Structure 1
Amino acid sequence: MDWLLEFAEAEGLTVEEVLYWAFKEKGLEIIKEEFQPIFIPLPESPPPEPADMAEVETIPPPPADWKGESEQNPSFRAIASLSPPVHRKIEPYGAAFLAHARRKAHGRTFSEDDRIQAAAKAKRTEDEDDGEISEPEDPLMLARDAKDWRGQDHYAVLGLSKYRYKATDEQIKKAHRKKVLKHHPDKKTAAGKEENDSFFKCIQKAHEMLTDPVKRRQFDSVDEAADVDPPSKKEVSKPAAFYKKWSAVFESEARFSNKQPVPKLGDDNSTQEEVDDFYDFWYNFDSWRTFEYLDEDVPDDNEGRDHKRHIEKKNANARKKRKTEDIARLRKLVDDCLAGDERIKKFRQQKNAQKNKKKLEKELAAKKEAEEKAQAQAEAERLQKEAEEKAKVEKEAGKKEKQKAKDAVKKNKRVVRASVKDVNYFAAAEPSAQEVDAVLDDVDKFLGVADPDQLADLVAKLNVAGKDAGKVKVAFSEATGGLVGAGKLKESDLKVFM
């Protein structure tokens, strides 16, 4: 930039001195600014006040009688005078200026500077990524025997202790690559160190466990480092602490849920429906947690089959026991949380208040109803008394009618029984006892099921038939046939009137 050289020459400074002043005055924050080709006045020379600046006025078009330029009619006229000139110092500013200064200071070309800056940016990005998955290595962990891989913390081995079950596949991949580059036996040999690949084998085993979804779940199921202990009553004496502490506990337990997403504990503003859904979810928790990782190793030899079956059975019983204990442990967690949840008490109080309100409304309604009932009772008693008197009269009349009907039935029954006797029980000569019993048996069956109307109808026909045995029998047969058709008698029950 020629203007930078001109500025340095005008001030009697070198370019390096100008750059040094710029960095000293502006600091490194200037690097973050976008390039703006502007001049910034120095502090000792403040910008001019608006009053010092020239005013702008729009000149209207010339009048119609304007005759052109002359001494009497000039083409221009002064609106205002210019402000006096002020001598000011200027400084370069912006990212482009800093890039130029960097290239000038290091003697780089544009392409060289771009390449070096890109490499530095990539290195910073890589260092930041490594920082995310970097943590101090425990000397005891470095000295661990690779054979005891079940007892190692696979996340700690890869430097992912703070992530644990939340670690992504990409983080596991980066962490493994970083550990391999640091602890590979060939690298130690090249550095002149004693070759010991025990921890390297631990790294490989951790990578194997955490990249296999099934094996990782088995390890996560027994990863106590990821558990959050339930708080004590003293720790959750305040509502804010209650929600914070217990939310952390259930967030940790939620990693075992087959159903996602898992309801949140919420806060004071949660509705009763949300709170009920939360506790219903955890009281019916569907967990995928298993305990195969803690199994005793089963021998692979074929000679000790009985011993192998014994170990497998022992492992199955141990898994079942741990699962039962885990279910009981989780249920106690939910019980303890529920017992200290002030929202449950609040909802219960609201329910009782609503219940009391309904009870009061019910009592008022009952009182009003009682008053209305008392008012209507006198009228009801009066109407009842009138109805009773009317019913008494009707009862007496009905009683007489009933007795009259009863007497008519008795009379008709006598007529029916007498009618068969008058026709000699339908026998030509003296009837036998069997014939008499058969006829009377059919008559009794008819009388046992016939209603008064059917009985009266038969008597009317018998009165017409007189002592004509044939007509009497026809009248009986028609009457019993009607009862058979109505289902009151069975044809097989009759012996004479069929």
Structure 2
Amino acid sequence: MATVVALPLTIPAAPAGYTKAAASGKPTAPVERQVYPAGPSYISYARRELLQLSFEEDDKATSSARAAAAALKLANAEEVLFPGLGEEQEHKDLLAADPKEWKKQDHYGVLGLGDLRYTATDDHIKVAHRRKVLRHHPDKKVDHDDGFFKCIQKAHETLTHKDRRRQFDSVDWNIADDVPNPKTVAADKYCEVYAPIFAREGRFSNIQPVAQFGDDASSKKEVEGFYDFWYNFDSWRSFEWHDKEANEGADSRDEKRFTEKKNKAERTRLKKEDNTRVRELVDSVLANDPRIKRIKDEEKAARLAKKKGGAAPAAKKLSPAEIKKAAEEKRKAEEEAKKAEAAANTASKADREAAKKAKEAARKNLKKWKKAVATVIAASNYFQADGAAPSPAVIEKQLAELDALVELAEPEDVKTLKEEVEKAGNGEPAKAVIKAKVAALGDKAAGKFTEFA
């Protein structure tokens, strides 16, 4: 049952001069008007009819158009952010770069980031790549040459991949890394010359921010802090970019392992050389740093003043003849040191070459001897019972243990192993020889062998 609610409303009086309209009793005469279809709904309908699209297809087309408009708007905004980036005229040698030689190309130079290099941000790379693509797309060229376009794509792929960019930055040959001899740098220019050099080297530091070189007025604490940092320098620099690829089409497991092992050894060597280079740089800069002499003089003066209870005596002023004599003695000492260093370098270079040749010869022989032992193992049916086919797991395990044995043993022992295995013949006698060599390794073989344990 409905409930009636009375509202306390009061209807106001009619305004002065109001008269009630008289009812005519007749409807208004009809008027013919032209109606035009319009509005977003009609436009969507017409588009679907004309293009024969379903609702789903029309929605996708509309979304794509909106995305393209947003991209164009973003591109226009980027024009303001980085004017001229990626729009410079490329040198003809750069345009003629072979995309197959992508490991030799300057990826920053291809994208027009040669001035920024390792300081380029992700936004710089993104904008430069887009502009290069718009300018060098094959569809915009008469001859449809896509060589440089492929270089652009490879540069973008490299610089947007964190690990690959680090590998390239690690060996970027386009960064000048010359270091002047500290002995030839004037004292008043010392900090000006070496501050940017250490800032450049600091890009490889795992610890950021890097200790700054400072200036002529740096305190003892600041100078010592700088050298403490660099004597404990922790570098992320790697040299994978120089890795050699296995021969194309090679399916030999030994060859691939050998290539990988060789690459690892080369990276270790280059890393060691780079650490030595940085250490020698710090040593030479420290040995000639005029701030060290200044600090020592200040400390000496302070000690004398404290001892005598007054100011330290002024340093003796040398005569022009004494200054000239001291400079001549210093020059002679430097020349003798250079000659001694050159002689040492010549001798060490010859030793390194001889050691390298010996190592290469031993490596070739090791490969040959290991192959001979592997041939005996295969001829012995991998030491399985007569008529039993060895499983892939057994084959893999025995060959892997042979690799480990060759790696742990001395070259002469591997040669002896090859001779004794061939002399013993196929089957259990050969296996016994291999087991004896494993046992002779002692603790080095602990936990690494099961088939030949």
TM-score, normalization by structure 1: 0.45
TM-score, normalization by structure 2: 0.49
